[in-house]
A and B are shown apart, each in its own frame.
Chain A
Amino acid sequence: MTDATDNAPSAPQISAEGLFLSFGKKEVLKNFSLNIGRGESVVILGRSGCGKSVFLKCLLGLLRPDDGKLFWQNRDLLKERGAPRELRQRIGMLFQSSALFDSLTVWENVAFGLLATKRMNRAEAYDVAIERLAEVELPPETALLSPAELSGGMKKRVGLARAVATRPEILLFDEPTSGLDPIMTRIIDDLILGSVKSLGATAITVTHDMQSAARIADRVALLHGGSICWQGGVDALAAPEDAGNPSLLQFVRGESRGPLALSAEKE
């Protein structure tokens, strides 16, 4: 069994130490610890509702842990005023539902961060939005459409264009391929890989999709019972029996019986 601190980089850009977070009586994060190095692509795997997205929201400052420490470049995000806001300006996030703003056109969605935080003028922001749309292989004609006119795959691509529009240092992907067909999944994976590489960004991805994880991850972490129960290289997904972790083995094989299922029944 690989220890939860193995493979952690020496100087983490992001570090979570013993995070606890409960919603009422339900403990979602329970002693959650994870280090992520600069430029690293980490995929967090886990069953539905195990708290994967909750960790991303803690990082964004949308949720505040009840206890524990969360560092960004050695700055304490839970104590230092202004640090969460500064971090947020360096993060781009692709939401599970794409979360495009209905009342805005596609280009306004893509350029939102540029208009809101970089205070760019609209003409300039439009040009940048067209460039970003081209990066995710969407033609300029889509710029004036509203999100309601887009397919699921197009929405994800617009969401990705919006996430990378401000050239962030850190990219967060929440279930980037959920609900997509295998071909579109592959396209989104390639776009994510391309974006992460071209920006040199740190990427944290939350997904159930094993194939997708194998393609985009440098390192994989398995979340179970509110904490990381295993983490290691992406090769372990191809040969989970070698990792010696029953939870990983069950998750990769998709078996209904095992430590993950037992725990779920207890919930």
Chain B
Amino acid sequence: MNTATRYARHGARFGGEGLRLTGALSLRFTAALGRLTLFTGRILSAVAPPWYGRNFVRQLIEIGYFSLPVVGMTAIFTGMVLALQSYTGFARFSAESAIPNVVVVSITRELGPVLAGLMVAGRVGAAMAAEIGTMRVTEQIDALEALSTDPFRYLVLPRVLAAVLVMPILVFIADIIGVMGGYFIATQRLGFASGSYLQNTLDFLEFQDVFSGLVKAAAFGFIIALMGCYHGYRSRGGAQGVGAAATYAVVSASILILTFNYLITEIFFAQ
């Protein structure tokens, strides 16, 4: 067999395997998308009485109140770094006066919702997946159904609703804290006048900047709860399965947050 024939055969084999691999991956992706769509459909069909108000309030506290410290810390340091970095960059072409504008727009449009979303995905998404996953592998979800209780109505819906509702509130608070972080550095470290910094910030800020951030936050809340519940609900095989579910929940929620951040930005700001 000459070299050309050998390469041709290798190429054909590689091409065949590549095609098979592409096909297998496409099938897996399509199946996963189908499962996720069905899961979302079951959540939507669960929007009906009986309502589990206690579970909903518990989730509001769990997702909202207990995430405040981590979201607040993220926001304040992001605002501080943003002011400092912008100053060092803008000073090169004497545009330091734009710092209040850059800080407020960056925080409200992008950094507030995205960083809060990623932090909450890490904290809450993993916890949801672990809790529901543990309930799955210890037959607690079977027990719920045996007690004539729809697990989607009892477990999933309160989490999704609470996350969608509480994320915009968290992001709004993060926006304020982030902007104040920038304000603190600008006035205490960079020599800005307090009054004019705040005036510049408010003058430059538009309603759509904040609104788009809050819409993103609601979408990210849905993504975080959906991924946490979906991966938890599908957990199998004991502690290892629950651990894997928590990991998948955080990773998939983070990727989807970044993807949807672009898509929502495109919808709001594309001209």
- B142→A113 contact, CB < 8 A: no
B211 CB, min distance to chain A CBs, angstroms: 36
Q: How far is the CA of A101 from the CA of B135 in the complex (A)?
A: 8
A13 CB within 8 Å of chain B: no
Q: How far is the CA of A93 from the CA of B147 in the complex (A)?
A: 8
- B148→A116 contact, CB < 8 A: yes
Q: How far is the CA of A20 from the CA of B146 in the complex (A)?
A: 22
Hey, what's the 0/1 contact readout for A85-99 against B, CB within 8 Å counting as 1? Answer: 100110101011101
- A95→B139 contact, CB < 8 A: yes
- B134→A97 contact, CB < 8 A: no
Q: How far is the CA of A97 from the CA of B140 in the complex (A)?
A: 9
Q: Per a CB cutoff under 8 Å, which of B139, B144, B146, B148 touches A97?
A: B139
- B148→A99 contact, CB < 8 A: no
- A91→B139 contact, CB < 8 A: no
- B145→A61 contact, CB < 8 A: yes
B190 CB, min distance to chain A CBs, angstroms: 49
Q: How far is the CA of A89 from the CA of B145 in the complex (A)?
A: 10
- CB nearest neighbor in A for B146: A93
Q: Per a CB cutoff under 8 Å, which of A85, A103, A162 touches B148?
A: A85
Kindly name the residue among B134, B144, B148, B154 whose own CB sees the greatest number of chain A CB atoms within 10 A: B148
- B134→A102 contact, CB < 8 A: yes
Q: How far is the CA of A60 from the CA of B141 in the complex (A)?
A: 13
Hey, what's the 0/1 contact readout for B106-146 against A, CB within 8 Å counting as 1? Answer: 00000000000000000000000001001100111011111
- CB nearest neighbor in B for A91: B146
B97 CB, min distance to chain A CBs, angstroms: 53
- A101→B145 contact, CB < 8 A: no
- CB nearest neighbor in A for B55: A103
- A89→B148 contact, CB < 8 A: yes
B138 neighbours in A (Cβ, 8 Å): 97, 99
B85 CB within 8 Å of chain A: no
Q: How far is the CA of A104 from the CA of B269 in the complex (A)?
A: 47
B149 CB within 8 Å of chain A: yes
Per the 8 Å Cβ criterion, residues 38-96 of A in contact with B are 57, 60-62, 85, 88-89, 91, 93, 95-96
- B148→A117 contact, CB < 8 A: yes
A107 CB within 8 Å of chain B: no
- 19 inter-chain pairs at a CB distance below 8 angstroms, sorted by A residue, are A60-B146, A88-B146, A88-B148, A91-B146, A93-B143, A93-B146, A99-B140, A99-B142, A99-B143, A101-B135, A101-B140, A101-B143, A102-B134, A102-B135, A102-B140, A112-B147, A112-B149, A116-B148, A117-B148
Name B's A-contacting residues (CB within 8 A). 50, 131, 134-135, 138-140, 142-149, 154
Which are the 7 A-B pairs with shortest beta-carbon distances?
A99-B143, A99-B139, A93-B146, A117-B148, A113-B147, A116-B149, A95-B139
